[in-house]
């Protein structure tokens, strides 16, 4: 019997991925950029056991048995095995995979990113493969390729129709900008109405804004964002992050039928951030929303205390729980992080 356990972080995109040019290979229509959060508060944890005595493959997610016959899981497994040495003694052993997220699953908090980065890192250790594994994690969930690296990460969309060049690259380690913090405001733990996969498919099929965003808006914003991160220019970083979140949700509303992910509380958070920034005469806090109502706020450490006191005043405890998340040089490591 061979056993590995791996923990993997979520990442929160500041330039969003939304739309595939190839559904099967999970190839995106635009580049995206994210920050990888430390695993202190939010992470996926996966244990894989391989044994010659197991009769069949098994997979549990958050304690519930899943169908192993899942194409994404099998694409990852196939690709890892393809890269394993033919002499690897466990290639024919059956697997028992057990994965858990310590935060809401399928609620717009990047569970598929942490989950598949974790699964692929664990498989890579199990079958002892080397080299970049982000393009394998991508076959599980697009955003997962970015969770393979710490710090600031770009998913380069690539040009090849077969996808070898569609992978993640680290733009800067977390230590480059150690003052950066992320606050997650959990507005709702509920599973989203439409998964990211189906939402973005409908957007590709129906949104007239989508091709314009992918071709005209995102490439320029990616370059600006890379400069803002390289220069540690928070004012610019915050502006681009908020613009991209708004552009992404505009495209979601332009989808038919519309993908409505943000709710009244999400919009109230947007208002609080803008009011705060206006009072400070500069962008001190930025928001970004994934495919769900929960807010991810990027801000510098110097602002955390004051901004949290405003949040606690405007949203007294009932409306949502608050967790601090940190992008800290010493804490964000490149995956896999083995226990």
97-156 residues near Co ion, rule: CB under 5 A: 112
Beta carbon nearer to ligand ADP, 47 or 51: 47
Binding-site member from 36, 96, 141, 221 for ligand DP6 (CB under 6 A): 141
Nearest CA-CA partner of 287 in 269, 313, 265, 309: 269
The whole-angstrom separation of Cα 3 and Cα 200 is 36
Binding-site member from 13, 229, 273, 295 for ligand DP6 (CB under 6 A): 13
The residue at minimum Cβ distance from ligand ADP is: 115
The whole-angstrom separation of Cα 87 and Cα 66 is 30
Beta carbon nearer to ligand ADP, 290 or 325: 290
Binding-site member from 49, 147, 170, 196 for Co ion (CB under 5 A): 196
Nearest CA-CA partner of 303 in 331, 277, 278, 323: 277
Q: How many residues in the shown chain lie near ligand DP6 by CB under 6 A?
A: 15
Q: Classify residue 213 by its DSSP letter.
A: I
**b/e for 278-317, b at 16 or more Cβ within 10 A?**
eeeeebbbbbbbbbbbbbbbbbbeebbeebeeebeeebee
Beta carbon nearer to ligand ADP, 110 or 295: 110
Specify whether the CB–CB gap between 46 and 77 falls below 8 A.
Answer: no
Span of 10-18, 42-50, 53-61, 327-335 interacting with ligand DP6 by CB under 6 A: 10-18
* Sheet order of strands, 152-156 included: 11-15, 32-36, 152-156, 167-172
Specify whether the CB–CB gap between 20 and 204 falls below 8 A.
Answer: yes
Beta carbon nearer to ligand ADP, 101 or 277: 101
- Binding letters toward ligand DP6, positions 98-117, x by CB under 6 A: ------------x-x-----
Specify whether the CB–CB gap between 168 and 149 falls below 8 A.
Answer: yes
Beta carbon nearer to ligand ADP, 113 or 222: 113
Q: What is the per-residue DSSP string for 3-47?
A: EEEEEEE-EEEEE----EEETTTTEESS-EEEEEPPTTTSEEEEE
63-122 residues near ligand ADP, rule: CB under 6 A: 99, 101, 105-113, 115-116, 118-119
The whole-angstrom separation of Cα 16 and Cα 33 is 7
Q: In angstroms, what is the minimal distance from the CB of 108 to ligand DP6? A: 7
State the binding partner of 16 from Co ion, ligand DP6, ligand ADP, none, CB within 5 to 8 A by kind.
Answer: ligand DP6
Binding of ligand DP6 by 196 (CB under 6 A): yes
Rounded to 5 degrees, what are φ and ψ at 23? -70, -40
State the binding partner of 326 from ligand DP6, Co ion, ligand ADP, none, CB within 5 to 8 A by kind.
Answer: none
Tokens of 203: 């957007």
Q: Quote the Cα angle for 140-141-144, to 5°.
A: 100
Beta carbon nearer to ligand ADP, 158 or 199: 199
- Binding letters toward ligand ADP, positions 189-228, x by CB under 6 A: ------xx--------------------------------
Q: In angstroms, what is the minimal distance from the CB of 19 to ligand ADP? A: 14
Largest CA distance in the chain: 65
The whole-angstrom separation of Cα 301 and Cα 146 is 24
Task: Kindly tell me the sign of the dihedral angle through the C-alpha atoms of 85, 90, 93, 96.
Answer: negative
Binding-site member from 79, 244, 290, 325 for ligand ADP (CB under 6 A): 290
Beta carbon nearer to Co ion, 96 or 112: 112
Give me the residues that bind ligand DP6 (CB under 6 A), please. Answer: 13, 16-18, 26, 32, 110, 112, 141-143, 196-197, 290-291
> Which residues here bind ligand ADP, judged by CB under 6 A?
44, 61, 99, 101, 105-113, 115-116, 118-119, 141, 195-196, 290-292
């Amino acid at each position: 019997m061979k056993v590995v356990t791996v923990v993997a972080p979520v990442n929160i995109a500041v330039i969003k991925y939304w739309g595939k040019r190839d559904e099967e290979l999970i190839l995106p229509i635009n580049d995206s950029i994210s920050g990888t959060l430390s695993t202190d508060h939010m992470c996926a944890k996966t244990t894989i056991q391989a044994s010659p005595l197991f009769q069949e493959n098994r997979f549990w997610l958050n304690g519930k048995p899943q169908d192993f016959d899942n194409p994404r899981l099998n694409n990852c497994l196939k690709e890892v095995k393809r890269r394993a040495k033919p002499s690897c003694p466990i290639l024919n052993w059956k697997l028992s995979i057990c994965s858990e997220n310590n935060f809401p699953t399928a609620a717009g908090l990047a569970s598929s990113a942490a989950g598949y980065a974790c699964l692929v890192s664990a498989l890579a250790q199990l079958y002892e493969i080397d080299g970049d594994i982000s393009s394998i994690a991508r076959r599980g969930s697009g955003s997962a390729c970015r969770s393979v690296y710490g710090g600031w990460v770009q998913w380069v969309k690539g040009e090849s129709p077969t996808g070898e060049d569609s992978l993640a690259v680290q733009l800067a380690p977390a230590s480059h900008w150690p003052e950066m913090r992320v606050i997650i405001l959990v507005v709702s733990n509920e599973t989203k109405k439409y998964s990211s996969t189906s939402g973005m498919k409908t957007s590709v099929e129906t949104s007239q804004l989508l091709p314009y965003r992918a071709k005209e808006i995102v490439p320029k914003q990616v370059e600006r964002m890379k400069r803002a991160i390289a220069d540690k220019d928070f004012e610019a970083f915050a502006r681009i992050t908020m613009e991209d979140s708004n552009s992404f949700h505009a495209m979601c509303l332009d989808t038919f039928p519309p993908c409505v992910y943000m709710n009244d509380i999400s919009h109230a958070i947007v208002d609080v951030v803008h009011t705060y920034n206006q009072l400070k005469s500069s962008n001190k806090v930025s928001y970004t929303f994934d495919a769900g109502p929960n807010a991810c706020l990027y801000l510098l450490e110097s602002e955390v205390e004051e901004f949290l006191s405003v949040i606690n005043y405007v949203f007294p405890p009932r409306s949502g729980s608050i967790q601090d998340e940190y992008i800290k040089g010493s804490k964000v490591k490149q995956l896999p992080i083995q226990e």
